[in-house]
Every structure is written in structure tokens, then in C-alpha cells.
Structure 1
């Protein structure tokens, strides 16, 4: 089954709160016939848009192919959280790659957050960056770990933006008694994800990028002059960037073996009015410590945007039923609140939850598999691939050097094996283990 069309209509954004409140953006044309470019980028999410923009600013001619609309995939549907660090914590990275490279990875993650904010400011995007992400812990052990990690980042990495929270402090901040403590990262934040993608697309167009929507790539023929085919035409380019993430499908089996698409879901309530202050006393976002993470924040018009739940199949389930249950576990006082929007999307994970950077050929690059940590890191990935094409590959190569195992079972069996693993971990969540 093709995930590009399993749950969505061709060329249309899903019926989400983000789509309903997005800045208008006229559709870009469908690719027809032959187009020549220095670089062909496949996928107009954060990775592809950022790569295209940074390449165009370096003087490259760029053709950007999108199967639906810019920001259609995870980039326009996610929780909007711009988190600190990599997907793995620094102590894990130190064990994986050593202290020196772990420091480089931390510095890259800090650059990623700064890049997002800098792009918003430099291109006057219709996006507000709200500082603050709370990490909500369910057990005393998790609280102790969070506080120890905050101290490590302050002492070892000079990052002093994290405030430890005890049970009373987190309850006052998030209006729920479901958690025993955690921390507040004021150096992280949240934004309207689709408007950020639209802002990137506008910046790309202004820089001369030729964007083609409703133009899914059907084949990539590599070579010194590569050809990327679509249903109605093709792009002939010196370089190719794969930026399709969870919607890559069978386009590149070497990436698909290491990157798994999964689905996640979000609800948007009706505007909460005065009740909103009892949900979040400050305009921060929240993510908890469940394996199947619950994450939430208030929209600019006072709705609760709550993400979570899990499903194991290509088709989306009853989203309201799937997500309302964990929402009410956190906020039982919202039992009678109306749900105005419910949507799902496909992201991509890797075995070790670190992004998968691959140089597939001297002139072909790929970055994907951000494992729920992609707003900042995907934007940075685009910059790193642009650097690599320009001959400055050290930072891309650092990311590509991270160990990235294949999913067991190959492309045929990886999905049912993931189902078994996710079922086990979600059971642990329910049992409070």
C-alpha cells in the first residue's frame, strides 16, 4: 500500500487545525516534460525545503518535487515542538560515539534550534516561536533521571536553560496530577508547523527554486547526470537529494531498510476560553515519558492540541477514540469538551532513534528518520546536505557516521515485527512499568 494515498486525497492537506489556520499559499504547478537543474530534491517537507533554500542561496539551480502540497507530510502535521539535543540523550551519545563527537552532536542540535528561529526572522514568516517545553515524568526514577540530566547539561555542556520541577511545580504548570515531576526547558519551544513549512516554501520560491507539486517521483536513475522520473515528466540533475522521510516507499531500498514509517495522531479541542489557564498556566508545550509519547500545547486561539495514541496498520484508526483516551487520563476535566479536529500523519523512525544520513552515491544524499524530533533536526539536515553538495561534507559525514542498524526482517517483515515490539512497549505504558 502506498502511504502517500492510503489516508489522504491527492494534492490536498488533511483536515487538521493546522490546515484550517494556515497562511494562504497558491498551488505550484505539476512537473510536465523535462526540467534540467543542478540539484533535484525529492520531498517538500522541512528537509527538502531547507536543502533547496540553502542550495539556491549558494547559487545552485534547484528543482523540488512534492507528491502533494509543500508541508503535506509530517512537516505540516506534527506537534510543533522544537526540542533541544538529539533524539538520544547526551550520556547515551557519549557511550555511542565518545565525548568529542557527542559534543559536536550537541552543538549541531543547538544550531538546529537557532536555524529555525533565524529562518523565521530572516524571511518574516507568519510564525510565532513560543519558548518552553516541559518534560513530564511518571515515576520517581524518571524524575531523578531528568534532574540529573539537567545538571549534566549545565555542568558538562554549558546549557543552563533547564529548570527542574517537583510534583507541585509541574502540577501548577500543566494542571494535571498525572505526573510526579520533570523539567522545563526554556531553550526549546513550539510553533505552527505547517506555517513554518509554508514560510520555507515562500523563501525557496523567492530564491529561485522551481517547486513542482502533485509530482511524486516514481524512479531515480542514478549516474553522472541523474534522472528523476514522475508520471508526466522528469528532472535531469547533477545531484539528487532524497527527503521523503516516512513517505519514501520503495524509491530507495537502501534507505527503506533503515527507516520505518509509523503513524501518529493529534486532536484539537474547541477553544477552551477561561479553562485554558487551568490546563497550561504558561504558553509552553509538554511531552511525557511514555514510550508512546503524549504531547500537547495550547494553540494561539486557546485550543488544546493533544497528540498520542498508537495504531498498527497503514490505515488510520478512529482517531478521536484513539487519542481522546490518553488525553482524558491526563485531563479528565475535559470529558465534555468538543473535539473540532482530528488528524493523523506518517513520520519515520530508526532502530536507534537517531536520524539516518546516507551518501548513496557521490552525487546522491538522503536524510530521514528523525523519530519524532524532526522540526529542528530536519531543517538542519537540509543545510548539511547543501553543504555536502558544495564540497563541505564534514558535518554531514559526522551524522552519516552514526551507527544505523537495519530493521530485522527486511522490508517484507519489518512492519509485523515492529507491531510486536510496539504492542509490548505500549503494554508497559499501560502497566506503568
Structure 2
């Protein structure tokens, strides 16, 4: 067992490998005036930056407000894994959105990755983008699931092949004795997420978007022309988009009740020599396993092992974070026993009760996006696009997604975390069987 603590935070970036390897340090001004625009977006992560960028590309006057730094939250702390798909099992909602709605969600899951590819190419964003992915099996039943998954990807028209790998075949991509086999594809990939997001912020600037950092929103006044109030100024706008996700806090109680900030952690080793790095992940792919509290890992551009996991519903991290994560890493790669750990960090992911992204409107002129449940690098980009579509006269996909109902977590503020922790313990026990 290990003790827990709240992740250590400040208004600057956490001590992550991503912050240490950022292409540049953002230094946008704090909002100190009362301004006006067409759309004000709250939240400087992937959802907010890309919604603002989509709108600015279409000629709207956009202001983006971030409480800390661009990419400060989950966007700049995650595993950097680009995974297609949108939420978990859209077929559950066929009665609400119809068979065409389900097909649309699957197609958006493919489009989400394409948006990242297009963004990087169009704006020449340097973010270590690489394609290649392996899901890895710990149990025989995982291999059966992978076979079904491979066949399913064909049925939804995914142009990239998914290849089932046996134990020895997998070692051509992920060289660990821990796994029985895996599922390889080139549709998914990995990226330096903070560099992607700040590159997208630069793209927003190129379209005359205005960005303010260190500008925490403290109130929202709704009305015919809503006003967003920060600690130092305000913005009135025709439309407001709330994209703070797990870090929006209690600004809007209705949204806060439908999202649970869950903690996930990552470590980054020192740079490995090329021979060792290539022997661990010969395919230079991103990797994850199918457990509830999964491991996910990959190599960085400078050959560090980035190893993440330890997801839990407490919102807390281990006090001995580095030691706990090292133990998990060494269970997969014993060769890394003596390797130095240069960075260890945690952050919140926004969990929704039904594991589907939450889109909707508090009013005709106040829109929200949240709850990617640990699967947000690609889905944020498509959610931003369909939100921009909604605000510029093409609401079909947004309106379809907003038909999916999202219940508040049971138990209120006091009991929802313990109840979910018990639920996670159950699924962890089931994973171990």
C-alpha cells in the first residue's frame, strides 16, 4: 500500500518531460480589460484551443481564456497517444441517436485522427508525430477481444489494417515477455502533446485569435450577450464555449456534477542509448493494455521511456510516485532497473459516468465540451470541429451527440469518489482473474 497526496500545482506547468522539452514557453498576457468578441472560449487545452482555431479559421473574432498556461492541464500531461474512436460502445445509445447516429460516431472517430494529421501538416507543427500502435494482451480473452476488434474496424470502413500478433510476432514491435500477443495498427500513433497544443495556439494567433493566460474565469453572467468574468477583466461575446473539462472546477455546478477528476501518472526516464531503446520497442509504437487501470507507454523522440498508468478515482497521486511507477515499468521491462527517472508527474482526466464525451448547451449562447474519460488527444479535435460547426450554422453532428444523456455521479461531492473507488476495485479484481 502507499500513501496518497494531491498533485502539486502552481500556475506554471508541472515538472513533466513535455514542459521540459517544449519548443517554446508561452507568455500570453493576462486579461486586464473589458473586451468584446464573437466567441469567447474558456480553457486552453486541446478542446478549447482547437474550437477557437476552427472558429478563427472561419473568420470569427475569437478570444481564448486560460487560467494558467496553454496546455497546462490534461492536454500537456497525458501519455501522448493518438487513439481513434469516440467514447465507449456508441451502440448503447442507438435508441437515442439511431443507427445513423451510431455510424456517424464511428466515422468521427476516424476523422479525429485525420484532423491532427492535417493540423500538423498545414501549420508545420513540430511535435514528434509518429504513426504506429499496439494493444497488448495479458490474458487469452484479450486476444479474442482483439480479433473481434480487428474484424470490427473493417466493418466501419477504417482504411488502416489491424493485424493480430502472436507472442513472438509482437516482439517485433514490443519486446516484453509480459504479453501473450497483441493488435497492431498504423491508424493510431503518438505525439508530444504540449508541443502540438502550443503549435495550434500559434495557428490561432495567425488567424487573429486573441489569447490570454493567467486569466482564471471566476463567474459567468448569462443573458442575451453573456459575459465571462476573470480575476482581472471580462469578455462579453455572442457565444461562450466552456472547455475546461476536469479543471473547470465548480464554476458551473451542473457540469461539475457530471464529471469526476481522476488522477493518472507518468514517468520519463533519462535518454536511453539507441541500442537499448530499440530493443525495448523495436517498432517505435505507442502501447497500452486493456485493463481498467491500464499501463500505457512509448518512447519519446530522444529515446526516453515514457510510462504511464495508475489511474484511480481518488483524484490523488502516490506520495512515492516515482517508486510506484518504476515498479510498474520494471514489470514490463526489467532491463530498466538501473535507469534514472528524470520526471514524474500526475494530472486529472475528466471521467464521465457513461464514458462518452459530453457536449451540450446551457443556453442557446453557452456551449460546453468535457469528459473524455482518459481518451482525449484525438477526440478533442473532432469535438472542437463539430462545436465550431454548430456555432457557424451546421449543427447536425453536435445536435446528435447532445442527444446522449449524461447523468450526474451519484452520491454528491462526499460519496461519489468512495463509491467509484469501490467500483474500480471490483473491475481491477475482475482483470486479475
TM superposition score category, shorter chain reference: over 0.9
Superposed counterparts of 1:229-308, under 5 Å: 229-273=229-273, 274-308=275-309
1:172 is paired with a residue whose SS is coil
Once the two structures are overlaid, the 10-residue window that deviates more, 391-400 or 239-248, is 391-400
Match of 2:364 in 1: 362
Alignment match, 1:216: 216
Extract structure 1 runs of 4+ deviating beyond 4 A: 89-98
CA contact (8 A) 1:256 1:411 kept: no
User: Aligned residue for 2:139?
Assistant: 139
Cα distance in structure 2, aligned partners of 1:121 and 1:400: 31
Q: Is the 8 A contact 2:7 2:346 kept in 1?
A: no
CA–CA separation in structure 1 for the residues paired with 2:158 and 2:308? 32
Task: Give the whole-Å Cα distance in 1 for the aligned partners of 2:160 and 2:19.
Answer: 36
Shift of residue 360, structure 1, vs aligned partner:
1.2
In structure 2, relative to structure 1, the CA distance for the partners of 1:115 and 1:312 (3 Å cut) is closer
TM-score normalised according to structure 2 size: 0.94
State the 1:315 CA deviation: 4.3
- Residue 331 of structure 1 is matched in structure 2 by 333
Q: Which runs of 5+ in 2 are unaligned?
A: 1-5
CA–CA distance in structure 2, aligned partners of residues 412 and 215 of structure 1: 29
- Per the alignment, residue 3 of structure 2 pairs with none
1:147/1:182 contact within 8 Å kept: no
| Between 95-104 and 301-310, the greater mean CA deviation after superposition | 95-104
Task: Summarize the alignment of residues 24-173 of structure 1 with structure 2, pairs less than 5 Å apart.
Answer: 24-89=24-89, 97-173=97-173
Does structure 1 residue 424 correspond to structure 2 residue 419? Answer: no
Contact 1:31–1:234 (Cα < 8 Å) also in 2: yes
For 2:421 and 2:190, locate their aligned partners in 1 and report how far apart those are by CA, in whole Å: 30
CA distance in 2, matches of 1:155, 1:403: 27
Partner of 1:403, secondary structure, is: coil
CA distances 1:294-318 after superposition (whole Å, capped 9, x unpaired): 1000011111000011455444323
In the alignment, what sits opposite 1:195? 195
Tell me which residue corresponds to 1:17. 17
The TM-score, its normalising length taken from structure 1, stands at: 0.94
Distance in 2 of aligned mates of 1:156 and 1:221? 43
Moved more, 107-116 or 313-322: 313-322
In structure 2, the residue matched to 1:404 is 406
How far did 1:188 drift?
A: 0.9
User: Matched residues in 1 for 2:47 and 2:74: separation?
Assistant: 11
CA distance in 2, matches of 1:92, 1:172: 36
Contact 2:84 2:109 survives alignment (8 Å)? yes
Cα distance in 1 for residues equivalent to 2:266 and 2:383: 25
> Residues of 2 paired with 1:194 and 1:324: CA distance?
23
Q: Distance in 1 between matches of 2:132 and 2:93?
A: 24
Measured in 2, the distance between the counterparts of 1:168 and 1:95 equals 43
> CA–CA distance in 1 between the matches of 2:227 and 2:99?
41
Aligned-residue CA RMSD in angstroms? 1.8
Q: Which runs of 5+ in 1 are unaligned?
A: none
Q: How many residues align?
A: 426
Deviation by residue 1:220-249 (Cα, 9 ceiling, x = unmatched): 111111111111111111111000011011
Cα separation, partners in 2 of 1:261 and 1:19, compared to 1, 3 Å: same
SS of residue paired to 1:276: helix
C-alpha distance in 2 between matches for 1:133 and 1:226 = 43
Aligned to 1:206: 206
